[in-house]
Structure 1
Amino acid sequence: MTKIYHYTKLSTAIEFILPSMCLRTNFLSKMNGPKENQKWSFGGMNVPYETLYTELDYNADSDRAHFDGMYKFGEEIKSKIQATCFVYSDKYKGFENEMMWAQYSENHRGICLELDTELFIKENSQLDIFKFQDINYEPKKNEWIYWNRNMSKDENIDQYIKRNFENLFLSKSHYWEKEYEKRLLILANDFCYLNIKESLTGIYYGLSTDFNYDVAIQQFINPIKTKTYRVYFEDNKLKRMERKSTLHNTS
């Protein structure tokens, strides 16, 4: 069975994810890549910025107002998407990713969640998932916006997203390719919540995860369904060792 992995801080897991058995999506602007957290703008044909953003002063400085309109439109496109990120395991076991441990799990003080992909999709079938696919690390230039006067602003934005979603939301430069990222996208203006109760098959403790929080983690899981592991470093790579549940062994 194919697995996906989600790296997170220990505090986030204990306070939010495990009690609710849900992952929350996020706005693209809250992600760490320069593409996502910078202002977006696109070349366009016949985009009526003056009527879309009437609060801008085109008389005082038409060039500045035009660029401000482009940025506003770009941010509206970005705001239409909610995303959650995972590590796929097609090439390597997802828990072995040293860079992800360092960057997203507080340098091995956090944890890594292992999910069964098929069960994850099944238990979130109530959500209108737009795309769920691997990141492309050979991005192309953004396509121009061709404005359709017979459509509303939202319809034009939706059309542009559906035509260019891969380059907009599913591409990064080659410097990020060792993340082996798989991204789930939902067309929504606010947070969405993804169930993991049925698909959570493993929890990995990092090299420096504090065992004093073990009970806080174990109380939320069924040890038959969800195994816990400790990663360790040997032969220049991360390996795993299954841990027995101290909480459930004493009950």
Structure 2
Amino acid sequence: MNLYHYTKISTVIDCILSYKTIRFSTLSGTNDPYENLPTVFSISGNTNGLDVGKELRRTEELFKALKSNIKVFCATTDGCSESNNKTGGILYNIDKGFSKPRMWAQYAENGTGVCIVLDSEKFLEKANTTFSDCEIIAKKINYCSQGEFVNKVSVATSIDASDLLQTDDVLLESIYKKYSDTFFFTKHPDWKDENEMIYLLRERNDVIRDVNVDGIIEAVILGINIDGKNKEKVEKLIREFDNPPILFQLEFWDGYYQIVPCNESDNG
């Protein structure tokens, strides 16, 4: 399976291609408020004798600490359309992971950036080897209906008063094990067209986590509006890889996106 990671041109030139690495990001750096804002809990059950305000602050601070030690790598995947085929060196598509106009606009600065294509199995294998001291979970996002999403969040953020008798570590592990899918692998339906895959890394300290992706990046797709000088920089950096990825140019024909190998694009 291919992974498609949209990014701005400065990131790909100054970081990804220069160091041949991809970095796992903190949740605070994501653009989904469900992920990057503090989680608000409630308490259910018998609260007699319980300092509710104190226990809520306790729970929310514990979960805040947990989220601060979670790092993620996010990518989109291909859809299920069978209308993807290759003809004459040009990849025609309707539902490929690189053919997302809104994602080109939002994550790749209006088509001036790139889309990095990675081999999913090689990426996970490399991440597991590199971060052998951490738990890594790779899952596709569940996009449920708005009503179901609200219900799932409501259940996950409701703590039974009896659970608050547990120590901090036990309470936090209980919440994580029961509801990690809801907190980290479930999203509002408005995001569904991203068809997202998330690689989640959980640790207990704030460490920079980079994965070497030489031999894992299969292709680099240049955005429609990429600057000529930036294109040259990308071409130069790719040549420095031990296993150079294929360079494609994104084009828009007949109402949908296509990619053309840069040697053909330059000649045509």
With the length of structure 1 as denominator, give the TM-score of the two structures.
0.82
Aligned residues of 1:129 and 1:184 also touching (Cα < 8 A): no
Aligned residues of 2:221 and 2:248 also touching (Cα < 8 A): yes
Gaps of 5+ in 2: 46-50, 81-94
Once the 2 structures are TM-superposed, how far is the Cα of residue 169 of structure 1 from its aligned partner? 0.6
The total of aligned residue pairs comes to 230
How far apart are the structure 1 equivalents of 2:195 and 2:15? 25
Cα 1:207/1:163, change in 2 over 3 Å: same
Q: In structure 1, what is the equivalent of residue 24 of structure 2?
A: 25
Gaps of 5+ in 1: 47-61, 246-251
Q: How does 1:1-251 map to 2 (within 5 A)?
A: 2-44=1-43, 67-91=56-80, 92-126=95-129, 127=131, 128-138=134-144, 139=149, 140-141=152-153, 142-143=155-156, 144-145=158-159, 147=163, 149=165, 152-188=167-203, 189-190=205-206, 191-222=208-239, 225-244=244-263
In structure 1, the residue corresponding to 2:38 is in which secondary structure?
coil
Once the 2 structures are TM-superposed, how far is the Cα of residue 25 of structure 1 from its aligned partner? 1.2
Aligned residues of 1:42 and 1:74 also touching (Cα < 8 A): no
Cα 1:70/1:118, change in 2 over 3 Å: closer
Once the 2 structures are TM-superposed, how far is the Cα of residue 65 of structure 1 from its aligned partner? 5.0
Aligned residues of 1:120 and 1:198 also touching (Cα < 8 A): no
Alpha-carbon displacement from aligned partner over 1:82-136 (angstroms, at most 9, x marks no partner) = 1111001143311101111011000101111000112212222312342111111
How far apart are the structure 1 equivalents of 2:170 and 2:262? 52
Once the 2 structures are TM-superposed, how far is the Cα of residue 73 of structure 1 from its aligned partner? 3.0
Alpha carbon RMSD of aligned pairs, Å? 2.6
Q: In structure 1, what is the equivalent of residue 92 of structure 2?
A: none
In structure 2, the residue corresponding to 1:198 is in which secondary structure?
coil
% same residue: 26
How far apart are the structure 2 equivalents of 1:123 and 1:75? 28
Aligned residues of 1:41 and 1:74 also touching (Cα < 8 A): no
* Bigger helix share: 2
